[in-house]
Amino acid sequence: MDAEEPSPAARSPNWLRFIYGRNPALTLVRILSLIFISIVVFKFVLLPIRVTGQSMFPTYRNGQIRFVNRLNYLWKAPQRGDIVAVEFQGKEVLLLKRIVGLPGEHFHVFNGELYINGQKLVEPYANGKVLSPNNKGLGSTREVINLGPTEYMVIGDNRPVSEGYIKDGKQIVGKVL
Amino acid sequence: MKFAQPILKFALLIVVAVGLWIFLFPAPEKVIRKKLEKLAQTVSENPQGNISRVANVNRIGSFFHPKISINLEGFGREVASINGRGELEQMALGVRQNNFRISVRFSTIHIVVDADESNATAIVGAEVKLNEQAEPIVQDLHVRLEKVDRAWLIRSVEPAKAFKVE
C-alpha cells in the first residue's frame, strides 16, 4: 500500500502553483503563444497610438490611446469622413487626420470652409474654421487643388490649429478605431 | 523512407533555384529602394579633401539621369530648381566646398512600378538636416525613375502637393 509519489508541481506551494499552473510546460507554451499573438496583433493589425496635440479636438483629446486598424483598407478604399493615421516622419510619427478629399476631386478652401468639386462640405464634426497662417482672418486657398488618382486630402477636426496635407493612398497607415 | 529522399532533394533544389533567381534578378521595387537608401547615405557623407569631395559628387551624380529635373520649391524655406546632371553636380560640389553638412534620411519609401517596367514612381518621406540642426525639415517627395541600360536613374524630384491657405 505504497502511496504514489506526488509530481513536482503538486508538491510546490499553492502560490507557486497559482503562477505556473499544474503543468509548467503547458503554461510556458501558453505564455509564449500569448506573446507571439500580441506581437503580431499589435504590430501588424491593431497599432496602438497615443494622441498628442489638439489637432483632432473635440473628436480626440490630447493623451488618449487609440488603435489603428491596419487591415481596414486592404480590400476597400478609404472613404470621406474616415479618421486615418497617415505617415509623417516615417512610421514612428503618425498624424491623425480626417479624410475630406478623395482621389480625382477638386478641392479648395474659401473663408475657412472646405469645398469639394465646388460644393461646400457639410461637416458636423469640425470645430471652427480654417484660419490664415498669421491668424489675420479666415483662410482661403489661392487656387483649386486637383487631387491626383491616388491622392487624398486630410485635415484635423480642430480647424483653427490643424494643418491639412495631401497624402498618397500608400501613406495611409490605417483607420483609427 | 527511401522514396522520400529524392523528393527532399528535389524540394531543396527548387528552394536553391528560387533563392538564386531572387538574388540574381531582384524585383524592381527592391532595387529602387536600395538605390534611394544608398543615395541618402552618399549625400549624408562628409568627405574631407578635394579628391574625396569630387569622388563623392560624382557618386551622387551617378544616381541621376543626365536630364534630371529637380524642383524643390517649398522644401523648408529654401528654393531649389535644378535641370541636368551637370548643374546638380556643380551645386553639390559648391555645397561640399562650403563645408555644409547635410544629413538625409528617407523614413518611408513607397514604390509603384509602371506597367512598362521601365519607369517608376517613389513616394518618399524625406528628412533633411542642415549643419547639425536639431529638427529636420520633413517633406514628402515624388521621385520619378527611369530604367536606362538596366540601371534605375532618378529622372525628376518634386515635393508632394501642398495645402496652403492665405
Mean pLDDT on B112-124: 92
Asked if pLDDT for residue A4 goes beyond 70, the answer is: no
How is residue A154 written as a grid cell?
486630410
Q: In terms of pLDDT, which residue wins out, A33 or B95? A: A33
Rounded to whole angstroms, how far apart are CA atoms A166 and A171? 10
Classify strands A83-88 and A172-176 as parallel, antiparallel or unpaired: antiparallel
For the entire predicted model, the pTM comes to: 0.77
Tell me the ipTM for this assembly: 0.71
pLDDT at B76: 53
Burial class (CB in 10 A: 0-12, 13-18, 19+), A133: exposed
pLDDT at A1: 45
pLDDT at B133: 80
Asked if pLDDT for residue B26 goes beyond 90, the answer is: no
Q: How confident is the model at residue B19 (pLDDT cuts 50, 70, 90)?
A: very high
Inter-residue contact A84 to A173 (CB < 8 Å): yes
Catalytic residue among A12, A91, A97, A140: A97
A113 in contact with B, Cβ within 8 Å:
no
pLDDT digit string (tens) for A157-174?
Answer: 998 888 889 999 999 999
What is the CATH number that goes with domain A51-176?
2.10.109.10
A55 classed as catalytic: yes
pLDDT digit string (tens) for A88-138?
Answer: 877 778 889 999 999 999 999 998 889 999 999 998 998 888 888 777 788
- Which residue in this structure is represented by grid cell 578635394? B50
A157 in contact with B, Cβ within 8 Å:
no
pLDDT at A8: 58
Among A36-40, A127-131, B82-86, B160-164, which is the least confidently predicted range?
B160-164
The domain ranges of chain A are 8-45, 51-176
Mean pLDDT on B38-42: 94
pLDDT at B15: 94
A140 classed as catalytic: no
pLDDT at A39: 92
- Domains defined for chain B, CATH in brackets: 27-159 (3.10.450.50)
DSSP letters, A126-157, are: -BS-PBPTTSSSB---SSPEEP-TTEEEEE-S
A89 in contact with B, Cβ within 8 Å:
yes
**Between chains, do B123 and A171 touch, taking CB under 8 Å as contact?**
yes
User: Which of B110, B127, B164 shows the shortest C-beta gap to A89?
Assistant: B127
